[in-house]
Amino acid sequence: MTIEGDFSPKVVVTSRSFSKSAVLRKELLRVFPNSIFTDHHQKLLGEKITEFIGDADAAIVGVEAIDDSVLKHTTKLKIISKYGVGLDNIDLDSLKNRAVFLGWTGGTNKRSVSELTLCFMLGLCRNVFGSSFKLKKLEWEKDGGHQLSGKTVGIIGCGHTGSDVVKLLAPFGCNLLVHDIVDKSNFCQEQGASQVSLEAVLEQSNIISLHVPLTKQTHQMVNTNFLQKMKPTSFLINTSRGKVVDQEALKKTLMQEDICGAALDVFVEEPPVDKDFLSLPNLMVTPHIGGNALEGVEAMGRAAIQHLVLFFKNSIKNKI
């Protein structure tokens, strides 16, 4: 990957995890020597992200919000290259209106997320998390839970990650129920799964795993009504987006033990601050690490770099 000619675009990287990767920094600088990386420990917000992007020609963006309040001050910006797969933090209409190109590739970190999802499923079923917490307090309670094998697993959202979870579950002989707004009948037939209604997923599943993007339709789709329809012995897993779940409704449900437990990698507010919620014994939490396995980080980073390379190569060609 090289950029020919004298033009050296100014590239800023707002993503903290990209900036912390020595491998990705080296690879980006090799192609775009005029690159600047964030050294902030917190996510860039508001004026800070506007100031950081400044007069850059391109930005590699992770979870930072990019909307018109930012873009109206970054007038030299030609391309936003997405580090990651979710686009809910980027105002696509504003990009279009201001003629800023978007570089994005879906599914680059799907295996990283799907492996964490499988980890949650096994950990919840076998009581790994609960028994570990107790043993650390010198409580010796031998409750091994139950096997994942043979259980009914509901996958809500069967895109890149959801479909990969289905494939990872193949050796466990689970009864796989898939719900998606897109026809997945061919995929389900290949994988021995069934595409069913949302009602069927809620009523029949021992485990429900969420793999949907954050949209107007999915915002707080997991609400009180959703949770009340789940089996009392079931588990909920969310490795998609925090705002897909009504966190207060889930908190109440877990406190009342209306479902058996939940595991979350994503939250409405990140980092979360509700200590009472986080400390619930039937809730397992991780700090949004689903897509951040080393291999996932590098795959997302390389995809973002490649979008910049292709964009500026085409820009140079069009000028000749």
Alpha-carbon torsion (243, 18, 36, 43), positive or negative: positive
CA distances from 236 to 31, 162, 220 (A): 43, 14, 14
C-alpha distances out from residue 283 to 79, 203, 244, 276, Å: 40, 21, 17, 11
Catalytic residues, by residue number, are 241, 270, 288
Distance in angstroms (rounded) separating the CA atoms of residues 113 and 85: 11
Please name which of 253, 166, 256, 182 lies closest in space to residue 264, comparing C-alpha atoms: 253
Q: What are phi and psi of 153, to 5 degrees?
A: -115, 125
Q: Are strands 207-210 and 194-195 parallel, antiparallel or unpaired?
A: unpaired
Q: With 0-12 CB in 10 A as exposed, 13-18 as middle and 19+ as buried, what is 59?
A: buried
E strands within 55-129?
58-61, 79-82, 101-103
Q: How far apart are CA 228 and CA 157, in angstroms?
A: 20
Specify which residues 237 forms β-bridges with: 209, 263
CB-side neighbour CA atoms (13 Å) of 118: 20
Cα distance between residue 304 and residue 60, in whole Å: 7
Query: 196 is written with which tokens?
Result: 């069913």
Radius of gyration of the chain measured on its C-alpha atoms? 22
- Which positions ≥6 away from 168 have C-beta within 8 Å? 114, 115, 117, 118
